[in-house]
Amino acid sequence: MTGPEPGAPDAAGGPDAAGGPDAARGPAGPGAPDRSRPARLTAWVEGRVQGVGFRWWTRARALEFGLTGVAENLADGRVKVVAEGPQPRCEELLAVLESGEAPGRVRRVITRWGPATGGLRGFVER
């Protein structure tokens, strides 16, 4: 088994973990990105999320929300989800990822928010 992807928050939520206690809620407050602009949500989903249809389910939800991106298995057992589109729609995807409705069992979701970079077409599973 290899370590986390370079630059990815660590699974223990240590000093490399993105955000703070409110990271799952998205950016807010002074200096937060403009919610009317396209956003990029990167979410590292921990738990029993591989081999249970989680990526397929995530893709279906993301397409319902009109998002582009990718859901991919990582070697450490997590699933990395990258989604771009209107920030409120990305927040909706994050909410369903955390809702308990997803296949398998989501233990924790670590997030990173940023501006959309473009270049993504559709929503794919890897």
Task: List the catalytic residue out of 37, 40, 59, 73.
Answer: 73
Q: C-alpha distances in angstroms, 28 versus 32, 33, 83, 121?
A: 5, 8, 19, 28
Respond yes or no: is residue 55 known to be catalytic.
yes
Respond yes or no: is residue 73 known to be catalytic.
yes
Task: List the catalytic residue out of 25, 48, 55, 121.
Answer: 55
The Cα–Cα gap between 55 and 6 comes to: 21
The Cα–Cα gap between 32 and 8 comes to: 21
Q: Which residues are catalytic?
A: 55, 73
